[in-house]
Chain A
Amino acid sequence: MEFSEHIKTANVEDVVLRRPFYQPTKGTLCVTGHHLIFSNRGGDSARPFLLLLRNIDAIEKRPSVSSGTITLKCKDLCVLQLDIPGMEECLNIASSIESLSSLETVSEMYPFFYRPPFLSLQDQWGLSSTEQHYAQMKEIHDGWRVSQVNRDYSVSPSYPPAVIVPHSIDDETLVKAARFRQGGRFPVLCYYHRETGTVIMRSSQPLSGANRKRCREDELLLQAVIDGSELGYIIDTRSSQQAQQARMTGGGFESKSCYRGWKRLHRQLEKGKVLQESLIKLVEACGDQSHSIAMLMMTVWFLCSISCYHVISVVMDGHSVLVHGSEGTDTSLLVSSLAQLILDPDSRTLAGFLGLLEREWVQAGHPFQQRCAHSAYSHVRLRHEAPVFVLLLDCVWQLARQFPLAMGFSEPLLLRLAKEVYASDYGTFLCNSDQERCVTGVKERTHCLFQSLLRANERQHYSNPLYERTELAIWPSIQPPSLQLWKGLFLQWTDDALHLVEAQKVIQNLVSQCHRPLNEKVENTDG
């Protein structure tokens, strides 16, 4: 196997491992193609400690004459330390970890080798397809249809093969409209609100360019969404200045005169580099003993999350909405998925939420591989990195904190996703689009995380014991005091988080005790 060339020293004895919540332990360290394995010689019953190399964000080594210390900073924000006897071994291990953790060939990644006994590659990959999703929504069948125009990914390389569009728009029009949108991402339906009949759509920016080109088909497509009397909002997640600037490079925005009935609003959401750096700053600040909570929350990260909700408040105005920024693969998805969580009780169940993530992020072409190559510790600064998905999870957590009964899923699920998106046994977050996933064989040769999370025993762990379905929209407060630091994520390796985990367990027990059949209890007391 070709991994072996990266492994200079496969085994080292008498290594001391230091990690949060555990006493330092001595044992054997083993480097394999995808994992660091640490086994404690003395403790025969203890399972070996397994660390996915992909999880390692940064590595620091301090070799000395007879030994060396390696500090591993992981993408899940955990920091580990290995004391390795022998300088050469230390350097070898460090260089193996460095090269193995940064392998970029998708088909060599661990999900292609992960074969747990409880899953079969014969299973359907993913929870649902566009067609299945459409079939379930009877109420939209009159006005909307599934178009296979992208079946060979030629219209938009980052869209799934099937999308939902207005009934009156034929595929030919779609092809032309797609040429007018960056990356061919023409406006498609993501949510239909039953009560009002309004919709949320998303796309990428129009390519109007410096000479204000227009596209009849694109205009027709949007006109078909609202009949003349209604008003729709186009939410541009860039500032109007940014949108103006985009025209110079061929992008642009919908001009008022061409899109009758649509009103354009600019609501800037940070993305890309700014977002990545805000995460780095926040994680740094969390480790800084002198920061007060106010100083901590002054980091850009919180501005990002609160501005998401400010955008949502426009979406909720009872009008149809089209969201886009520039590429339509980041902030647009953030807005559309948060809006759905707030409005749609079906998306707040465990399966519903995972379904939402699959539709709005995986199928919709969020470039996970580019965005989540590195996390907060890495010194490598790649151009395309941005923790948009982590920001989504933070926003969802804030929402769940304000409505602790409304969500069918629990905080551990959000934490698990925050970890899996960076380093995973599953193929779900590999690649940048549906097309890439097909080409590299992800769907045939890896397992799907979402399906695994819905297995009976996992499902219980990730369900919210307090869940009580509500049909109402859940409106969060967006006042500054309502926003909090997500301790479960950013301080998850401190004792504080342990107490929170304990509290969750107690809640779980309490609720299950309360919901046990009554006669069972009586039998117990009598017996």
Chain B
Amino acid sequence: MLFYSEHLLWATFQLLDRYTAKKPAIGTLYLTATHLIFVETSCNTRKETWIIHHHIATVEKLPLTGTGYPLNISCKNFHVVHFVIPSERYCQDVYHSLLRLSQPAKLEDLFAFLYNPKQDEDDRRNGWGFIDSAMDFKRMGLPNEFWELTDLNKNYELCSTYHSELGIPKTARKDTVLGSAKFRSRGRLPTLSYYHKESNGAICRCSQPLSGISARCLEDEEMLQAISRANPNSTFMYVVDTRPKLNAMANRAAGKGYENADNYSNIRFQFVGIENIHVMRNSLQKLLEVCAMKSPTMSDYLTGLENSGWLRHIKAVMDAGVFLAKAVADEKASVLVHCSDGWDRTAQVCSLASILLDNFYRTIKGLMVLIEKEWISMGHKFTQRCGHVDGDPKEVSPVFTQFLECVWNLMEQYPCGFEYNEKYLLEIHNHVYSCQFGNFIGNCQREREEMRLKEKTFSVWPFLWENRQQYINPLYKCSLGREVLRPSTLPLNFKFWCGMYNHFDKGMQPKQSILDHLLTIIQKRVEGEKKMTDFQRKLAVMDGVLADECTLKSRPPEQTLMPPVSVAHTSKNMQIKEETIIQLAPTAGSKQI
């Protein structure tokens, strides 16, 4: 059982706002089964800091200071806290408990299996149906004369890390598909990622071919031919290897590698040079070291930022996404993308290109669909990349974070282009790591089914949808329509994402937020309008112009400033949010409190 260590501790807690020299706050530290909670006792208003255990990335004991035993906790959402604990024994206890609690040995011990927001079973089950990635193929117009969905992978026999439903060219025969899968690393055969109706261009994804030095596979060549033929608008297709050329060549020695353009007819082969997960992990580490500097000088900070290379990597991903989008929209060509296994860089690049090409993915629901489709169902290894459970630290890498950062950079360039705001990205990021919901647990669809996640856990999407009011970008202009985004990828356009990496250093955020202000005045307006119409209706009823209240309720929601949201939802949302907090509280060591 999980309630194995509940500590009640007195500790000096220095609220680590790194950029303001605040006095340390004194309070009580509670460790519950799921959260670390610090309650400040020094101030009149009761201030609580909650940290979900799974967010904790590292716990570090520092040398003894005059005030006690310091404990440094860094979180996966870039929250950093610093405790000073008066007794060594307590400090040891907290340290060991946190190590165990933050990274359990088994997936079954993750928060999601414990989390129960008092919804009934039907709501939970329906919640899992809220986002259906297969529906997205329908939205793109599939099946059509060129593409169809196949269930060849229904038992995950063709490819164990893919989803069961795959989009393939209509002309591809079964043995072509099977043969091609055999020639691709881990059976990750070329399959449809996005189909662009306007140009007939398609983005397909796969893993590297097992070409080695000279091997070839007729079926694989046929498969690429079939993809190319499925686009009558172009005589060629691009094959994009997202790795640096050197890495790809090194893979050939291990019997893998890249397509030999001589063997495939009418392909244009291209490397785009995104570095691997290890380079990215190290780069983030360096970036976080810069963030952790206490009052750096301008030049220390900038040199650190530059040397981390982080923004260069973000640019590389964006460049690749832009390349794909331009190929499809401007050249009307199809593109096949892969990296090594096709579950990291390939996922980043394909999903980014989809956002550039299709306005739907720039909406709140669209982003959910995209993440479900390109990341979850295509086997991005969330368990390993996020380090949910105790495992190989070399498998951990901020691949998904980079994707969100690319989207944020787009939002900065197109302030009116996205229906969602920065908070939405941050909230998704939080939940990828929090393990409060089942969506981001497991490395692929098959694993998730084996764990029976849909029966045991909740889906995050309905939860985010309920709260969508706060994720709205009030500047969003739907009129931009299906316009393809053509962002500038000049290096100077890639900014440090303060909202993500310094999110918890309030001193560094702008002191007033345009977004919050707009959301508030819109909210007030909407409420004002509602009161006004209610009042007028009452008058109308009194005058006998209108019959009764019931008919009014069935009327469509008032025309508001924000098309997708109606008033009624917000107040309900607030309630739901409070409930979830209350829901969490009983597990918070209630016996002791």
**Interface residue ranges, A against B (CB under 8 Å):** 286, 289-298, 302-303, 306, 401-406, 466, 468, 474-477, 479-485, 494-496, 499-500, 502-503, 506-507, 510-511, 513-515, 518-519, 521-522, 525
Contact = CB atoms under 8 A, between A and B. Distances in A.
Given A294-B306, A481-B508, 14 more contacts: A289-B491, A293-B495, A298-B299, A403-B511, A404-B514, A474-B511, A479-B508, A480-B301, A482-B498, A495-B488, A503-B475, A507-B518, A510-B561, A525-B558
A466 B514 contact: yes
B558 A293 contact: no
Contact of B413 (A406, A479, A496): A496
15 contacts: A291-B491, A291-B492, A293-B495, A298-B298, A402-B510, A402-B511, A403-B510, A476-B511, A479-B508, A503-B475, A506-B416, A510-B518, A510-B522, A510-B561, A522-B529
A514 B475 contact: no
B302 interface: yes
Contact of A519 (B296, B417, B492, B532): B532
B496 A293 contact: yes
Contact of B415 (A290, A401, A500, A514): A500
B522 A518 contact: no
B533 interface: yes
Interface string B485-501: 00010111111101000
In the complex, the 4 A-B pairs of residues with the closest C-beta atoms, listed nearest first: A503-B415, A480-B301, A294-B306, A292-B491
A518 B528 contact: yes
Interface string B474-490: 11010000000000101
B365 interface: no
A483 B561 contact: no
Contacts of A511: 518, 521
Contact of A481 (B299, B502, B524): B502
Nearest to B297: A480
B295 interface: yes
A479 B295 contact: yes
Contacts of A291: 491-492
Nearest to A291: B492
A493 to B, nearest CB: 13
A468 B514 CA distance: 12
A510 B302 contact: no
B525 interface: yes
Contacts of B529: 518, 521-522
A377 to B, nearest CB: 19
Contacts of B510: 401-404
Interface string B288-304: 00000001111111110
Contacts of A297: 298, 302
B68 to A, nearest CB: 28
B558 to A, nearest CB: 7
Nearest to B526: A514
Question: Which has the most chain B C-beta neighbours within 10 Å: A294, A466, A506?
Answer: A294
B311 interface: yes
Contacts of B297: 480
A515 B301 CA distance: 42
Contact of B301 (A290, A475, A477, A481): A481
A123 to B, nearest CB: 36
B538 to A, nearest CB: 13
Contact of B477 (A294, A477, A506): A506
Nearest to A297: B302
Contact of A292 (B492, B525, B533, B558): B492
A510 B415 CA distance: 14
B393 interface: no
A306 B299 CA distance: 11
Contact of A306 (B298, B415, B518): B298
A465 to B, nearest CB: 10
Contacts of B303: 294, 298
A522 B524 CA distance: 15
Contacts of A507: 475, 514, 518
Interface residues on B, range: 35 or more
Contact of A499 (B306, B413, B502): B413
B120 to A, nearest CB: 37
B491 A290 contact: yes
B586 interface: no
A187 B521 CA distance: 46
Contacts of A286: 492
Contacts of A502: 415-416
B416 to A, nearest CB: 6
A494 B488 contact: yes
Contacts of A293: 311, 491-496
Contacts of B300: 480
Interface string B307-323: 00001100000000000
B544 to A, nearest CB: 18
B491 A477 contact: no
Question: Which has the most chain A C-beta neighbours within 10 Å: B493, B513, B529, B559?
Answer: B493
Contact of B512 (A406, A477, A495): A406
Nearest to A525: B559
B474 A510 contact: yes
Nearest to B523: A514
Contacts of A295: 302, 306, 491
A482 B498 CA distance: 8
A33 B424 CA distance: 56
Nearest to A296: B492
A494 B493 CA distance: 12
Contacts of B561: 510, 513-514
A485 B518 contact: no
Nearest to A513: B561
A474 B512 CA distance: 10
B507 interface: yes
Contacts of B89: none
A293 B300 CA distance: 14
A479 B297 CA distance: 8
A499 B492 contact: no
B517 A514 contact: no
A477 B518 CA distance: 23
A485 B298 contact: no
Given A496-B413, A502-B415, A521-B529, A477 B19 contact: yes
B414 A499 contact: yes
Contacts of B475: 503, 506-507, 510
Nearest to B20: A477
A500 B415 CA distance: 7
A294 B305 contact: yes
B49 interface: no
Question: Which has the most chain A C-beta neighbours within 10 Å: B297, B413, B491, B513?
Answer: B491
B575 interface: no
B536 interface: yes
A398 to B, nearest CB: 10
Interface in B522-560: 522, 524-525, 528-529, 532-533, 536, 558-559
Interface string B554-578: 0000110100000000000000000
A292 B309 CA distance: 10
A343 B477 CA distance: 37
Nearest to B495: A293
A515 B415 CA distance: 22
Given A496-B488, A510-B475, A518-B529, A480 B512 contact: no
A477 B508 contact: yes
Nearest to B475: A506
A485 B295 contact: no
A478 to B, nearest CB: 9
A295 B307 CA distance: 11
Interface in B413-449: 413-417
Contacts of B558: 525
A481 B512 CA distance: 16
B525 A514 contact: yes
Contacts of A521: 529, 532
A37 to B, nearest CB: 32
Given A292-B312, A503-B415, A480 B491 contact: no
Question: Which has the most chain A C-beta neighbours within 10 Å: B299, B300, B510, B532?
Answer: B510
